[in-house]
Structure 1
Amino acid sequence: MTAATYQYVDLPDASVVTTRALLTARENISDTVAARAMMCIHGGAGFGKTLAVNTCLRALEPGEDVRKITFRARPTARAVRCELFTALDLAGEPPRHPSEFDRLLKTALAERPRTFLVDEAQWLNGEAFEYFRYLWDEPSTQLAIIFVGGAGCHTVLRREPMLSSRIFIWQHFTRLTPSEVLEAIPLFHPIWDDADPDDITFADSHTAHGNFRAWAQLTAHTRTALTRTGRSRVDQELLRGLQPPRLTTTPPAVSPTPVAVVIDPGDDAIHTHTALAAHHPPSGRITLHPGPGTTSVTGLAHDLLAALGKPPLLPGRFPAGRQPACLRVLD
């Protein structure tokens, strides 16, 4: 593994660790490419998705023609076409008209089987995903497509039945568990090879939180500290001596508490009385009883704030373009 390619950190001597997630990705990608299908690999930032996919696809080359496309902002349909034009190394200027552009791309894609790696796919909207589906549905294109991205990628694909029904394999990357950290990190870089397991656990619980990118960053800082101090081995004293910003990262995000919504469309009196009697916000039970004629979002927001025992943002209306405060919290 070259220094410049590991999790965006200049880290000499880092190795690609064959975690369970990487082994699963290798099988899933191999099956997807063989079937000329589409798959989605999704998960949080820094969990090793892109690294794993690049490693697995590299093993398929040169027998497989792999083209990588990375999106950094929400692309239009034309932007997607232009990225494909560039990825396929097509000559000349991109056509101006969509129909002409589509014919050119389908003709090029029909030449031989190809695999597209679409990275940072969380930036794609439904229209962009639909365009990839449009090309994949063309019988002559012989495409395999691997979407890699954050939660937004999975959400958009799942929202569209025509898209989600065509995904051959879904794989969710998660944080390394504490036991996986103790297995993987000594293999990841030589400075952790002889480290005490307790020190690795300390580093993970205070800084990395099972995130491979955070481990790469911490390893780079620790490697520098070893050189500056003349120490030969990592220990908690060295780790504590790192500058606080280097030893403090955002802890794992806490998943929001699930919300169950019970609706009584018939406005049955027994149901209403039971729901009102069960209302107890401290216990997480909220009964919203809108007044007659409540049809607007603003009116619903006022009723919800009242049910929560909070004053409304404004007595009558909300500032133009501003979403009601209670709805922003609930989002």
Structure 2
Amino acid sequence: MLCVTGTSGVGKTFAARAVLAGHPAHRACMLTLPSRPTPADLRTAFHDALHLPGPLPEDPGVCDAAVLHALAARPRTVVVDEAHQLSSASFECLRYLYDSLPGGLCIVLIVGEDGETVLRETRMLKTRTATWCEIRPLDEDLVALAARRLHPLWQQASCAQLRRLDGHFARGRLRRWALLTHHARRIRSATPACRGWIEQLAARVDDGGIG
């Protein structure tokens, strides 16, 4: 098991998806869960993510057997976002799947900094977690590289302009850079011939015009 932590918006889920996309042989099973998921919600999420045939079995034991069979058929990495919302019973369901596969199963639990305490106090994780990985905001010297890889629009911006946008708004957080990119594209589409769109965007940031 791997626990991924970090402040809101730094790109924890993006990082997990990016790493898994680079290893297609180890197929990702991304669970889509409601708030405060129950074991029944977990079984539904596994049934959907694994594309199991037919409707969800009403018998939990039958459902668990089908999930185990699918997980054992090929290497899998199970990803649970907002894992601090899992109940004790839901954690126990994950433990059962983890312990029941002799060939191994990788489970990635993603939480914000407010949820890290929940995971660290979850008993079943103490002996099963191989690593705690903290995703931190981008260092200043990486901002320009990351922004330009995020969207080609930023190729037109200087390093100084990108550092200004980061210092005044994004502060190294990927989610905020995505929002900046959204607003930059809107400005460019509204005035495609304008060469001062970066200054317009910076002015909005300075005025607090981007939420």
For residues 196 and 128 of structure 1, do their structure 2 counterparts lie closer, same or farther at Cα, with a shift above 3 Å needed? same
Q: CA deviation at 1:152?
A: 4.8
Cα distance in 1 for partners of 2:158, 2:70 equals 55
Residues 196, 235 of structure 1: 8 Å contact kept: no
Residues 191, 233 of structure 1: 8 Å contact kept: no
1:56 corresponds in structure 2 to: 19
2:150 corresponds in structure 1 to: 188
1:122-133 residue pairs with structure 2 within 5 A? Answer: 122-133=84-95
Cα distance in 1 for partners of 2:162, 2:79 equals 34
1:113 corresponds in structure 2 to: 75
The higher radius of gyration belongs to 1
For residues 137 and 199 of structure 1, do their structure 2 counterparts lie closer, same or farther at Cα, with a shift above 3 Å needed? same
Root mean square deviation, CA, Å: 2.6
For residues 222 and 134 of structure 1, do their structure 2 counterparts lie closer, same or farther at Cα, with a shift above 3 Å needed? same
For residues 129 and 239 of structure 1, do their structure 2 counterparts lie closer, same or farther at Cα, with a shift above 3 Å needed? same
* Count of residues in Structure 1 that have an aligned counterpart in Structure 2: 210
Among all aligned residue pairs of Structure 1 and Structure 2, give the percentage whose two residues are the same amino acid.
33
What SS class does the counterpart of residue 185 from structure 1 fall into? helix
Q: Deviations over 1:55-98 (max 9, x none)?
A: 2212211x223221122311111111221122222223333333
1:152-167 residue pairs with structure 2 within 5 A? Answer: 152-167=114-129
Cα distance in 1 for partners of 2:23, 2:121 equals 31
Q: When you count helix as a share of all residues, which structure comes out higher?
A: 2
Q: CA deviation at 1:45?
A: 2.6
Cα distance in 2 for partners of 1:124, 1:194 equals 44
1:200 corresponds in structure 2 to: 162
**Unmatched runs of 5 consecutive residues or more in structure 1:** 1-37, 250-331
What SS class does the counterpart of residue 53 from structure 2 fall into? coil
Q: CA deviation at 1:131?
A: 1.3
For residues 190 and 166 of structure 1, do their structure 2 counterparts lie closer, same or farther at Cα, with a shift above 3 Å needed? same
- Point out 4+ residue stretches in structure 1 off by more than 4 angstroms: 241-245
Q: Deviations over 1:182-221 (max 9, x none)?
A: 4422443333324233322221122112111111111221
**Unmatched runs of 5 consecutive residues or more in structure 2:** none
Structure 1 length-normalised TM: 0.56
1:179 corresponds in structure 2 to: 141
1:221-240 residue pairs with structure 2 within 5 A? Answer: 221-229=183-191, 230-232=193-195, 234-236=197-199, 238-240=201-203
What SS class does the counterpart of residue 217 from structure 1 fall into? helix
Q: CA deviation at 1:141?
A: 5.8
2:41 corresponds in structure 1 to: 79
Cα distance in 2 for partners of 1:139, 1:218 equals 44
Kindly provide the amino acid, as one letter, of the partner of residue 97 in structure 1.
D
Q: Deviations over 1:288-321 (max 9, x none)?
A: xxxxxxxxxxxxxxxxxxxxxxxxxxxxxxxxxx
Identify the structure with bigger relative contact order (alpha carbons < 8 Å, sequence gap 6+).
2
Cα distance in 1 for partners of 2:64, 2:30 equals 19
What SS class does the counterpart of residue 130 from structure 2 fall into? strand
For residues 226 and 90 of structure 1, do their structure 2 counterparts lie closer, same or farther at Cα, with a shift above 3 Å needed? closer
Cα distance in 1 for partners of 2:64, 2:206 equals 54
1:44 corresponds in structure 2 to: 7
Residues 202, 236 of structure 1: 8 Å contact kept: no
For residues 99 and 39 of structure 1, do their structure 2 counterparts lie closer, same or farther at Cα, with a shift above 3 Å needed? same
